[in-house]
Structures are given as structure tokens and as C-alpha cells.
Amino acid sequence: MSSVSPVPMTENLYLDYFGKEFGSISDYGQDEWSKLNEKVVRNLLNTVVPVASFIGNKMYFGCTGIVVESNEAGASILTSASLVRSDDDDRNMKSILMIQVRLPNGGFEATIGRVAHYDLDYNAAVIIIPSSRCLRAACFDRHMEFGSPSNVVAVGRWFYSGRFMATAGILTDEPNRDYPEHMRISTCKIPMVMTGGPLIDSGGNFVGMNFYSMDRTPLLPSNKIVDFLVLKRVIKSGTEKTLKRKYESRCRSKIDNEGPEVILKSISEKPASLLPSSEGTSSGESESEECVDEEFCFFPDFHEPLPVNEFTELIRNDLKPRGYAIATRLEGGMHLVNTFEEEFVEDTWCKLSKKVASDTSRSVVSLASFKDQRFFVCTGVFIDCIGSTSRILTSASLIRSSPDENNIADNLKIQVYLPNKLVVTGTLQHYNLEYNVAVISVMGFRCLRTAEFHNQVQIEPQREVVTVGRVFESGKLMATSGIVTGKESTLDCKELMVTTCKITKAGIGGPLIDLDGNFLGMNFYGRKETYFLPRNMILGLIKHFEAERSVTRDVIYSKANRWPVPVPRWSYPSSRARRRQKL
């Protein structure tokens, strides 16, 4: 899955307004949790999530969602289509909205979502978000019947605090002349923010999805939910009984519960994907059978020139300082790829001992260079501390004028995101463009841990390793594992070695360590695998740097090595579909 912080200003400026507009949490769920056993409540923690849509920095609609599918490709969240319905014409969808889903992890982070499917008759929508190991899919049994009267509990979550709400009632068979005949009614009284949340019985079985009403609470029954999810191919026909899909974390960070806070709460990360995708019908019939790309099923005509308005200007002002170009057109499902905010797919902190993970978290930093706008972002690791000055080893891509040139950019400013969450100024001290290595110094900060160079280790094929990176805007620490291969480097620099670790651009310059925490090398980006400069080469460069007193440039002029890095770009579903057709 990519994580973000809430849209700026919204929480403080609009909290009171949305507390009133979407229901006061103080009026609901005072003692209702007592009606559910501990196991049911525990399962709900990772299944029920808060969802909100935004126009600019203002919340458009806030509600609750239910995780209905979660795997390595991503997660699907079922919620009310009110999240994206147009307020001018409720038969249409609001096209330019940003959707955020709060994750039930330790930092309660927000991630960007997009509309993949919807049905206006059912008032249901499915939001797709990146994969997250903290999510657990709900189980909707199409064949389970819930008679009347049945004791039920409605559940929801507040977007900003993540606080759960619950209110109890009875499932009734009273006539529902005010609602479509496929709806059922409960006596649960809910605020609007619980729209899209589940209605469950005392055993934790999902009865349906709730909608807001002043008098009674209508709900879409679980059998209709399964019909919708099967029709939209969110789940496969015949598998609804096993929809639970126990997507439990394969590898949870030990530090989350036992040690220092390694996965830091996102404090300023902006979304890389700013526009929702859209696919669905108002009649309940699917058009996805004609879809070329199963990952993105959209109306073929859902694209248009980017409008000239306040929201476009807001997007432009957000993207430009970060070095990203604005899109040339508007299309459902469009999103930025190759960004510096993209996180590692895999999280393998549990392969490290508590001490190794703790030491690593205190030694790894993120760096960004700026020239009018953001120039480059990567990871670094502390290598020593002399007096009150700490030094950081990182990639020279941070300061290189381009991947193809043997020059550094002029007048760059460097910022360093420290393990204590402070952002300070860094100074270029040494660099070598042949091996793409740089040393950045930070004055007035004494690092607590450094890369572990002291132990003698051999880097051999099949050795299990972990590569570490840190995201600059959020400060989130990432780790992914693999093995050292015997492959030769396909890059210009032939001294590089290769691992099966899969990193993103944010991990460039980060350390490669073994399971004991020993520093093995520094990582560089590869499309299918990760290259690293081994420790013996780095130690030789550091010794050479230490013999110099000023900023040094150490280049062997016989060869100018290239260090390719993918350029950020906008990806459009229609373009991918055309490429698939050509194949």
C-alpha cells in the first residue's frame, strides 16, 4: 500500500463542524461494547476503518468502511456511495475528490484510496487502497439468515481519532415503504459518520452495511453485499463463505510492541495519488467484462482536460515544491508512479532481534536536497560522531546534477530527517561520483548509534540480508529482506553486488545489513533487484575522505558511471489498457 497525513487544516478548523454534521461521538456507544465478546471486538479492530473524501483541504463526507478483501496486491474497502455522490445530483458521482482511509496500525496512518466500483441503487462503493498487513477481511455469509427480532450492534469509527462507536438495537421486519425493497431496517440509532459501517449480531456475524436516517437505520443485507462484490469481481463467485481471508500479518514489527517507535507516525506526507478512479453503474449491471486491465476497470470516457479551477491550483501548489509535474489530463484512476513517497512492499522487521532493530532505527535517516523545489530524496546512515558533529553516509544522487553527468548541482540545500523526528540542515562534506557515494555532516547533533563496521564479516551468495530505508516526509522506517546473489552488476559500476531485496527510490543510499546488524553495504536502485556497494569499498572511500580536510571530489576520470533512477510520471489506466491490447 503508499501512507499520508490528514489533509492540512481540516482537523482543527472543521472538527467541531463535522462533529455536529456527522454525529456527536459522545451520544453513541456508551455501553454497547459490553454486548460483544472480546474476540469479536478484537476482530473488528482490523476490519472496520474510517473513510473520508475531500475537496481541497475541506472534508466532503466522512463515514465508515468495511475491509472485504486484503492481499499483497491491495485491499478493498466496502462503504457507502454517499462518500462520493454529487451533492448537486445524487444520480452522479463527484469526479474530483481525494479519498483517505485510516489504517488500524499503531500510528493510525492515513492512506490514499480510489473508487474502483460502485452501485447507486445499492448505494455501495468499493475503495481500493495499497496493501497493508494490519487489515483483516470481513466474512459475509450469503446463506446465513437473520430473523426478526434479532439483537444487533451497529459499529463505526471516527476519522480523526479512530475512536470506535457502537449502538445496539433490534433487526426488524417492519414495512420499509420509505426505502428500496432490498433494504432491511434496524432500530439502532447512528450518527452519519457510522454510514457504511457494519451491523453485526452478538456472535460477530455481519448482518449488513448501515445507512444514515433520522428515524430508523436502513441497511444493505449481507446477501446483497455478496451479490454486489461478486458482480464487481471483488470476490469470486462461490467463495463468499471464505471471504474472511485471514490476511494476518506475516511479519509484525517487534518494535511496535516491545521497543522504540520505529514505524513513525506520518506527520506531513502528502498523497502521491490525488484523483480517484471510478467504475460502476446505477443499475447494478457490470461493464467490467469488457475491461482490458483487470486492475483498473473504468468507464472509457472518464477522462477530460484538467480543469482550470481552485482545486487544480491546490494540486499544482502541492506537487511543484516536491518536484512533481502536474497531470496533463483528468482520468479516473490516474496516479503518480516512481515517487519518493513510495514505501517498500514488504516489512520484515521481525527478522531482526529487538536490539538490532532498535539500533538500526536510531542510525538511519532520510535526506532531501532542494534547489528552488525538491531535487532528490534518499536514505542515509550515521557512520561516526566527532564532538557535536555527526556524519552520514548516503548516495551522491542526492547532489548529482543528473544520473548521466559527473557533476554536482550548484547551490543545493540539504535537509536531514533525524530519528528523533527533527529536520535539520546538512552540509556536503565529501563525495565520489564514480561510486556514487557522499558524506553529509550535521552540526549540533550527536547520533546515538552508527553503522556497525567493527565486526569482520564475509559477504557470500545466499546470505540473508535486510535493506533499510526511511521516507523523508513521514519519517517512516522501512525494511525488506532478501539474499545476496552471485549475479554480476548490469550497471556501469562493476564493483556493485546484487541482492533480491526490492526497494523503492526512498531506499537509495540506505544500509544493507545482515540479521546481526552488521553493515554490509549501501543500496542503489534496481528495477527488479537491488544493487549495493560492498562495505570494503565504502571503508576504503571513507579512509580516503578522512585524509582530506575540505569538501573533496574524488573522481576517476577514466570512466563516468551512470546511476539510473526512474523519473516520476503520471500513469493513466487507458494507456495501460492500450499497451495490453498491443500485446
Give per-residue pLDDT as tens, 515-532. 999 999 999 998 889 999
- Respond yes or no on whether the N-terminal peptide bond of residue 149 is cis (omega within 30° of 0): yes
User: Parallel, antiparallel, or unpaired: how do β-strands 335-337 and 569-571 relate?
Assistant: antiparallel
Of residues 61 and 93, more confidently modeled? 61
Q: How far is CA 475 from the centre of its chain?
A: 13
In this prediction, residue 96 carries a pLDDT of 62
Which residue do the cell numbers 565520489 mark?
432
Q: For 10-258, CATH number?
A: 2.40.10.120
What's the pLDDT band for 473 if we cut at 50, 70, 90?
confident
Cβ-proximal residues to 149 (8 Å cutoff; 6+ apart), any chain? 170, 171, 172
Q: How many CB atoms lie within 10 A of CB 130?
A: 19
Distance CA 168, CA 190 (A): 9
Check whether 389 has a pLDDT greater than 70.
Answer: yes
Give per-residue pLDDT as tens, 164-184. 888 889 998 876 677 788 889
The secondary structure element, H or E, covering residue 312 is: helix 310-319
Q: How far is CA 550 from the centre of its chain?
A: 41
Tell me the sheet residues that pair with 63: 51
Distance CA 82, CA 124 (A): 8
Residues counted in the chain: 583
Percentage of the chain beyond pLDDT 70 is 74
Give per-residue pLDDT as tens, 145-160. 777 788 899 999 988 8
* The three cell numbers locating residue 323: 518536484
Distance CA 488, CA 485 (A): 9
Distance CA 132, CA 107 (A): 13
Exposure string of 291-305, with b = 16+ CB inside 10 Å and e = fewer, is bebeebbbeeebbee
Task: Considering the chain, tell me which residue range(s) the CATH 2.40.10.120 domain(s) occupy.
Answer: 10-258, 349-553
The secondary structure of residue 408, as a DSSP letter, is B
Q: For 349-553, CATH number?
A: 2.40.10.120
Distance CA 485, CA 530 (A): 10
Quick one: CA dihedral 393, 399, 405, 406, positive or negative?
negative
The secondary structure of residue 283, as a DSSP letter, is S
Distance CA 104, CA 294 (A): 28
* The three cell numbers locating residue 433: 561520483
* The three cell numbers locating residue 58: 475541506
Phi, psi of 54 (to 5 degrees): -135, 145
User: Using an 8 Å Cβ cutoff, are 189 and 168 in contact?
Assistant: no
pTM of the model: 0.53
- Lowest-pLDDT range, 102-116, 510-524, 539-553? 539-553
Distance CA 72, CA 1 (A): 9
Exposure string of 71-110, with b = 16+ CB inside 10 Å and e = fewer, is eeebbbbbbbbbbbbeeeeeeebbbbbbbbbbbbbbbebb
Exposure string of 259-279, with b = 16+ CB inside 10 Å and e = fewer, is bebbbbbbeebbbbbbbbbbb
In this prediction, residue 131 carries a pLDDT of 84
Give per-residue pLDDT as tens, 52-87. 998 877 888 999 999 999 888 889 999 999 998 877
3-state DSSP assignment of residue 561:
coil
* The three cell numbers locating residue 487: 549475479
In this prediction, residue 520 carries a pLDDT of 97
Which residue do the cell numbers 426488524 mark?
172
Identify which of 67, 68, 125 has the alpha carbon closest to the alpha carbon of residue 97: 125
Of residues 297 and 230, more confidently modeled? 230
The highest-confidence range among 127-131, 294-298, 331-335, 553-557, by mean pLDDT, is 127-131
Identify which of 102, 64, 115, 84 has the alpha carbon closest to the alpha carbon of residue 219: 64
Distance CA 207, CA 200 (A): 5
SS in 3 state form for 96-137?
A: CCEEEEECCCCCCCEEEEEEEEEECCCCEEEEEECCCCCCCC
Of residues 124 and 11, more confidently modeled? 124
Cβ-proximal residues to 11 (8 Å cutoff; 6+ apart), any chain? 160
User: Using an 8 Å Cβ cutoff, are 524 and 507 in contact?
Assistant: no
User: Parallel, antiparallel, or unpaired: how do β-strands 217-221 and 206-210 relate?
Assistant: antiparallel
Identify which of 349, 160, 172, 159 has the alpha carbon closest to the alpha carbon of residue 250: 349
Residue-wise DSSP of 477-521: EEEEEEEB--PPP-SS-TT-EEES----GGGTTPEEEETT-BEEE
Give per-residue pLDDT as tens, 487-510. 999 899 999 999 999 999 999 999
In this prediction, residue 175 carries a pLDDT of 67
Which residue do the cell numbers 495519488 mark?
273
Distance CA 130, CA 101 (A): 10
Identify which of 446, 450, 451, 452 has the alpha carbon closest to the alpha carbon of residue 387: 446
